[in-house]
A and B are shown apart, each in its own frame.
Chain A
Amino acid sequence: MSMIFGVPLAVLSGQLLIGIINGAFYALLSLGLAVIFGLLKIINFAHGAMYMLGAMTTVLMFDYMGVNYWVALFLAPLVVGVFGVVIEYFLLRRIAGQDHIYSLLLTFGVALIIQGVLINWFGVSGLRYTMPDMFKGGVNLGFMFMPYYRAWVIVAALLVCFGTWFVIEKTKLGSYLRAGTEDSQLMQGFGINVPLLISLTYGFGVALAAFAGVLAAPIYSVTPVMGSSTLIVVFAVVVIGGMGSIGGAIITGILMGVIEGLTKTFYPPASSAVIFLVMVLVLMFRPSGLFGKEA
């Protein structure tokens, strides 16, 4: 069997694949954070909880209502998105004029509530979600085995990332969003309903997180605590990439997933820490982040 740096090619490419998949999740989650940050100027600490809600909704809808994967792929983000709009309307909006630190703390409190309540209902052990039949199995690419579902995750995540980029950069709605990022008061003056736009933006951002949750349901263990540890990694990714550009968030996400995968191959003990170490390096040598303009 062919070897690269003393590691079998199949193992290396297998870890790379897992890395790319993890990276796709990081990309989706940091993209949602960036979208929310753009207009609301807050970091959504409840983002991990929303990702978890997406996965939990998928599992529960299947268990209790027999809702299949494809329907869940649309329904779960919709449900979580509406939930997000409710949170924005009833909570975040009330402190919109205050220091942004408060909204960050508010979302942290919301995350504690959501996670705590779900732990009480379902415990911390994982719920089981069976993969749709059509995704069972995979294809042998010669140098590695590619499970169908993993291929689908990469394709779906990239499609959604690209779609979001397209909407924000190339459409009328996106131009409103970008204008709102620059000067929301002026835009209100032009007769655009900014509060509605803010609600929808928050809803859309958390829907992206929920979408990632649905994708994660068949391959990761679905538990109420799955969001919090992932979120901290995503924060590091966001610090590394900077939230200045949508494209930057996507590229950094995937890149960090790959680096994590490679570390797992060559030096497993460091794999959970490597992204944080990269963050330290970036802070030392390029404090504004790889793609960031702001300090």
Chain B
Amino acid sequence: MNQPVNSADIHKAIVEQQAAQDRKKMMLNGVLLLLLLAAPFIIYPVFLMKILCFALFAVAFNLLFGFTGLLSFGHAAFLATGGYTTGYLLSNYSGLTTEVGIIAGTLTATALGVAFALLSIRRQGIYFAMVTLALAQLVFFFFVQSEFTHGEDGMHGIPRGELFGLINLEDNLNMYYFVLVVFIACYLLVQRIVSSPYGQILKAIKQNEPRAVSLGYNVDRYKVLAFVISAALAGLAGSMKSVVFQLASLNDAHWHMSGEVILMTLVGGMGTLLGPVVGATFVVNIEYQLSQGALRDWVDPILGGIFVLTVLAFRSGIVGELQKFVKKNLG
């Protein structure tokens, strides 16, 4: 016999289910946070910071690639611009506190992002990738020929200095918690952006751009903004990386780096929030492990192989495949 269905009950059930899911998520996030807080006592902090910087870089890239559907092949330019600017300022003006240097680096990368975005947005799809790659190469040539970057040698001995003039960042633990705070803030920012109405429009553009246009959205404006935010966060990642390692080099500006961040995002799971973080952790670890062993000369071909394998067999990446698995078996 059919029970009369009360719509209020259904609503209540949905709300409860939602709350249960939220609780699960909160617990997961809490556990992750505890792990991150405890991590430097178990693992070498500089290595962790490297992962966090690349994770931020990949999160920034994913906002553009995973959520807006724009494949930039030039994100190395922002990483390097952030790094070089911060490195130059902190090395040459000893009065500056570290956060000023980092903010300046981020802003310079943001400005470059505006220029990139306005130019590359004029072409779509594959052309977009080629334009960003070519523009990044232009930036690379600029850094190669500029005096202040010290060319192939790179910029060494960038002082970490003191945060707000108070906290000594030469101490690895202080540095780690600073990087962690910045990383979490950026991660939450991206999470907020993605779930906001603006983020929904970005997803709409990714799924069906002509439809977004016909709904009356000024698609180009949304795309430019997404690009600029992504460039700013990538620049921030570069700035922090240069402070952590006290080094800014041409490696960061090379197209190879643009490829690496694509790989991180793809392997971790593009279009998921946690994916790029997992991907960055994975790639940094693999590179480290390989560089220690007999295969140290084979890093590039192996990365290329992972690229091919991921594209052929795991297009949703680690997190994406896990989500699918959970949905199928436990959901």
Q: Which residues of B contact A (CB under 8 A)?
A: 71, 119-120, 122-127, 129-131, 133-135, 137-138, 141-142, 145, 255, 259, 262, 266, 297-308, 311-312, 315
Contact = CB atoms under 8 A, between A and B. Distances in A.
A105 B307 CA distance: 7
A94 B308 CA distance: 11
A287 interface: yes
Given A113-B308, A273-B141, 18 more contacts: A91-B308, A95-B312, A102-B315, A104-B126, A105-B307, A106-B307, A109-B308, A113-B301, A114-B304, A119-B300, A120-B297, A232-B134, A232-B255, A236-B137, A239-B123, A273-B142, A280-B138, A283-B120
A112 B304 contact: yes
Nearest to B125: A100
A91 B142 CA distance: 37
Given A101-B71, A235-B133, A269-B145, A112 B124 contact: no
Contacts, number: 113
B304 A279 contact: no
Contacts of A42: 126
A228 B145 CA distance: 19
B316 to A, nearest CB: 12
A272 B311 CA distance: 33
* Main secondary structure on A side of the interface with B: helix
Interface residues of A, number: 43
B304 A109 contact: yes
A-B interface, 8 closest residue pairs, ranked by CB to CB distance from nearest: A109-B307, A112-B304, A116-B300, A116-B301, A113-B304, A287-B122, A109-B308, A276-B138
Nearest to B145: A269
A295 interface: yes
B141 A105 contact: no
A102 B84 CA distance: 32
A192 B136 CA distance: 42
13 contacts: A37-B126, A42-B126, A43-B129, A95-B312, A101-B126, A102-B315, A104-B71, A108-B307, A116-B302, A236-B134, A276-B137, A283-B120, A287-B123
A295 B123 contact: yes
B118 to A, nearest CB: 9
A2 interface: no
Contacts of A60: none
Given A98-B315, A232-B255, A279-B134, A116 B125 contact: no
B133 A105 contact: no
Given A109-B307, A110-B308, A120-B301, A283 B122 contact: yes
Contacts of B125: 100-101
Interface string A102-133: 10111011111111110110000000000000
Given A101-B71, A279-B131, A228 B255 contact: yes
A108 B259 contact: yes
A279 B141 CA distance: 15
A112 B311 contact: no
A294 to B, nearest CB: 8
Contacts of B127: 239
Given A113-B305, A239-B131, A91 B298 contact: no
A238 interface: yes
A277 interface: yes
Nearest to A109: B307
Interface string A224-254: 0000100011011011000000000000000
A238 B120 CA distance: 14
Contact of A106 (B122, B131, B259, B308): B308
Contact of B311 (A105, A232, A233, A280): A105
B112 to A, nearest CB: 13
A205 to B, nearest CB: 15
B134 A112 contact: no
Q: Which of B120, B130, B131, B300: most chain A CB closer than 10 A?
A: B130
Given A109-B305, A120-B297, A280-B119, A104 B134 contact: no
Given A43-B129, A112-B303, A120-B301, A232 B137 contact: yes
B130 A239 contact: yes
Contact of A284 (B119, B126, B303): B119
